[in-house]
Amino acid sequence: MENSRETGSTNDGDASPRNANYYDIDDILVEGELVPVVFYKSANGVKVDPSAEKDSVEEGAKVELPFWLAQELYLRQAVSLSIPTCFNQNTRREIQADAACVDLKSRCPYFYEFGCKIAPLVGDRTIGKMLLSTFQMRYKEILTKAHTTAYAPASKSLAVLTKEETSLHEAARSSMAAFKKWRIGGPRFQRASVLGRKRKSTE
Amino acid sequence: MAGQSDPHISLFSPQEIEFMAEDELVEIVPNIRMDPLNFISGDFGPFFPQIPAKVPLWLAVALKKRGKCTIRPPQWMSIENLTHVLEGEREDQGAFQAVPFHYIEISRLLFDHARDDIPDIYMVRSLIEDIRDVRLHKVETNLEKFSATSAVKISHLSAMEVNVVRPFVVRSLQAFYKHDNPVVMADLDSSSDIQPQVRQPQVPRNAQRQPLKRR
Amino acid sequence: MGAGFCFSKENMHGRLACRLVKEFNSGEKGQLNHFNEELLNEVAKECSENFLVLQSLIRKMQEEGLDFQTTRNADHYGALINHLSLIRNKRCLLAYVYNRAEMIQNLAWTVGLRLFELPEEIQEKLSHPEKEYFKKHSSALESYMSKVDLDLNVDMVPPKDPYIKVRVLDDVGEGIVVSDKAANFARHSMHFLKRTDAELYISRGLMEELTG
C-alpha cells in the first residue's frame, strides 16, 4: 500500500500547517546539504550521476544527493545512505581535541540542523550525542565572544561558527548593544533598518 | 507600538521596556491646584499645592518638565538601602537581591528629569550603576553554567536584565533542548537496521515542536 | 569527498533553486536584494522540464502495459525523482517570493505607503508584480487605517514628547506641508516638528532627530 501513487505527496511537498518550516529559508538550505548515497535501483530520465553517459542512473552508482532527495529515496528503499563527511571520525576527533576552535562553518554551516535531520536516517545514535557535546563545548565560547566582541562583529574568531551559533552570538550582542545605546540616550527615532546603513552618497 | 520589537529574536526594545516602566506609580508634590485626571488606567488627583499624590511615572515626568511638581524619589533609592543591596549582591554570588522590577528604567528617568529632587544624586547614581554592573556580570556567569535543559530558575531579575539576555537564552535553551531530548533519537534503537519503509521522517520535527515547558 | 563522487553541480536537480534561495539569504541581514527574474525563470523552466520527463516516463510505462501504481522499475524511480525535484523547486520558488513579499510589506509600515516615497535604490530592486503588491498592500492598509481612524504606522517607538527637533539631511523637496505648517525644508535646516509628522521622514533617512 505504501506510496501507492507515483506522485504520492510527501511531507516536504505541501504547505500544510504540518510543515511549519515550509517557507523557512534556513530549513530549505539545510535540506540542500549533500548526502553520499548508493543507488539500489536504476532510474531513467534523471541528472544525478555525472559519470553516466545518458540521463539516467545505474544500480550501484555512488553519488551525492541533496538531503531532500536522498531522504525520500531512502524511505522508498531506492538508495542506501552513508554518513556525510561533516560527521565523520576525523571531524569528531577534531571536535574532541578542541571543540571551540574547529571551523564547523566550512564543514557545514548547518552542522546541528543537518545532524538532527540525518541522524535518524542513518541510524547512528552517536551523532545526536556528538551534536549535544559539541554544542555544550562551544556554547561557552559563543557567550564569551558575544560579550567581548561587542563592537567588532566581523572578528575572525566568528568565522568558524555555524549559522545557528552565529545567530546566537548576534542575539546576545545586539540586545546588549541596544541596551547600552538606550543607557547613553540620544535620538529615539532611527532610519528604517530595511534601508541599510547608509544612503548612497548624495553629491 | 511593537514596531521596534524583533519578533524573530523575541526582544523588546529598551524604549519599550522603559515605556512599561512609566506606568509605575511615584509620589509627587504638586505646586498647583488641578482637577482629577481620569485615565483608562485609573483616576489621579485632585491635586493641591504641597499635598503629595501618587501618579504614574510618565505623568510625574511630564508635570516635572513643566515645573508643576517635585518628584519624591522612591524609598529604595536611599543610599542606605542601595549600599545594603550592593553589599548583598557582592557577598552572595549565587543569588540576586530583590530589587524593584523596573529599577534600571525608573532610576534612569529620574536621573534625567528630576536630578534636583534626588538628594546625593551622584552617590545614588554610582551605587545603582554598580549594582547593575554586578548583577549583569552575575547573569553572564549564570549563563555560562547552562549545559542542558535542566531547570533554569533565576529569581529577582529585573525587566531590563531579563530583556537583555532573553534572545540569547531562548535560543540557547532551544538548542540544548533539541540536542538533549531523548525523544528525538529514541526510536533509533528499534529501527537502525530494520527497513524504514513505513516510518515517516517526522520524529525530530515533532520533538522540536513541543513547547518548552519542562521546567 | 572523492573526486569521482562529485557530479556536475549546475546540472543537478534543484541546484538553481538552491542558488536562488541562497541569493535571498546573502548580503546584509534584513536587506532586500535585486529581484532575480532570470534565475527565477530558469528554475520555473526546470520545473516544466521535470514535469515533461515525469509525464513521458508515465506514458512510457502505460504504453508498455505496466501498472505504474505498482511497478518499481527504472522508469518509476526516474518519475519519482523528477516529481520530488518539481516539489523541491516549487518550495524554493515560493519561499523566495514569500520572504520577499514579507519584507515589502514591512517597507509600507516603516518607510512609506507610496512607491515614490521609497528610496530609488529600493524601488529598483522590486519586480513589477512586487511593486503592484506593495501598492495594493499599502492601499489596503490605508483604507483600514481610515476606517479605524488611526495612523497605525506612526509611533513605532513609544511616544514621549509631541514635538521633536529635527535636522534635514537631504533635499526633501519643495512644497512639503506637514500637518500644521508649510516650511522650507532646505538641507541642513533645523525644525521643531510634530513627532508624528517627522517620524516617517526620519525613517526614510531624510531627517535626523536632534537631542539635548
User: What's residue A56's pLDDT?
Assistant: 86
* Yes or no, beta carbons of B13 and A188 under 8 Å apart: no
The angle, 0 to 180 degrees and rounded to 10, between the axes of the packed helices A125-148 and A111-122 is: 170
Going along chain C from its start, the domains and CATH numbers come out as: 8-148 (1.20.58.1030), 163-210 (3.40.5)
User: What's residue C173's pLDDT?
Assistant: 64
**Per-residue pLDDT at B152 exceeds 90:** no
Average pLDDT over residues B98-110: 97
> Is the Cβ of C68 closer than 8 Å to some Cβ of chain A?
yes
Minimal-distance CA residue of chain A relative to C122: A195
User: What's residue B131's pLDDT?
Assistant: 97
Q: How far is CA C192 from the centre of its chain?
A: 35
**Per-residue pLDDT at A80 exceeds 80:** yes
Pairing type for strands C190-194 and C163-168 reads antiparallel
**Per-residue pLDDT at A38 exceeds 80:** yes
* Cβ(A32)–Cβ(C44) below 8 Å: no
Could you report the per-residue pLDDT of B155-206, keeping only the tens digit for each?
899 999 999 998 888 888 888 888 877 555 444 443 333 333 333 333 333 3
ipTM comes to: 0.85
Percent of residues, chain A, with pLDDT higher than 70: 83
The CA distances from residue C130 to C37, C114, C135, C153, in Å, are 12, 13, 9, 20
Could you report the per-residue pLDDT of C66-85, keeping only the tens digit for each?
887 888 999 999 999 999 99
Could you report the per-residue pLDDT of A110-153, keeping only the tens digit for each?
999 999 999 988 888 889 889 999 998 898 888 887 777 555 55
Instruction: Calculate the average pLDDT of chain A.
Output: 82
Q: Is A35 helix (H, G, I), strand (E, B) or coil?
A: strand
**Per-residue pLDDT at B9 exceeds 70:** no
The CA distances from residue C63 to A43, A44, A54, in Å, are 18, 16, 22
Minimal-distance CA residue of chain B relative to C159: B19
Chains near B (3 or more Cβ pairs under 8 Å): A, C
User: What's residue A194's pLDDT?
Assistant: 79
pTM of the full structure: 0.83
**Per-residue pLDDT at C127 exceeds 80:** yes
B65: CB partners within 8 A, 6+ apart? B113
User: What's residue A143's pLDDT?
Assistant: 84
What does the alpha-carbon distance between residue A177 and residue A149 come to, in Å, rounded to a whole number?
Answer: 11
Cell numbers for C169: 539631511
* Cβ(C53)–Cβ(A45) below 8 Å: yes
**Per-residue pLDDT at B151 exceeds 80:** no
Average pLDDT over residues B86-91: 96
**Per-residue pLDDT at B122 exceeds 90:** yes
Chains near A (3 or more Cβ pairs under 8 Å): B, C
Which phi and psi angles does C7 have, rounded to 5°? -130, 165
**Which of C30, C95, C210 is the closest to A25 by Cβ?**
C95
Which phi and psi angles does C92 have, rounded to 5°? -65, -45
B13, B140, B165, B179: best mutation site toward chain A, by most A Cβ within 10 Å?
B179
Q: How far is CA B39 from the centre of its chain?
A: 25
A47: CB partners within 8 A, 6+ apart? A55, C11, C12, C13
> What sign for the dihedral angle of Cα C95, C101, C104, C105?
negative
Could you report the per-residue pLDDT of C44-66, keeping only the tens digit for each?
999 999 999 999 999 999 999 98
**Which of B4, B18, B19 is the closest to C156 by Cβ?**
B4
Which phi and psi angles does B3 have, rounded to 5°? -60, -30
Instruction: Kindly indicate the confidence band of residue A186, based on its pLDDT and cuts at 50, 70 and 90.
Output: confident
**Which of A25, A51, A188 is the closest to C21 by Cβ?**
A25
Instruction: Calculate the average pLDDT of chain C.
Output: 86
Q: How far is CA A161 from the centre of its chain?
A: 12
Smallest CA–CA distance, residue C202 to chain A, in Å, is: 6
Extract the runs of DSSP E, i.e. beta strands, from A25-177: 34-39, 43-44, 56-57, 62-66, 79-81
Name every residue in C having a CB less than 8 A away from some CB of B.
Answer: 109-110, 155-158
What does the alpha-carbon distance between residue B140 and residue A145 come to, in Å, rounded to a whole number?
Answer: 12
Q: How far is CA A117 from the centre of its chain?
A: 10
In which residue are the cell numbers 568565522 written? Answer: A159
Going along chain B from its start, the domains and CATH numbers come out as: 2-173 (3.40.5.50)
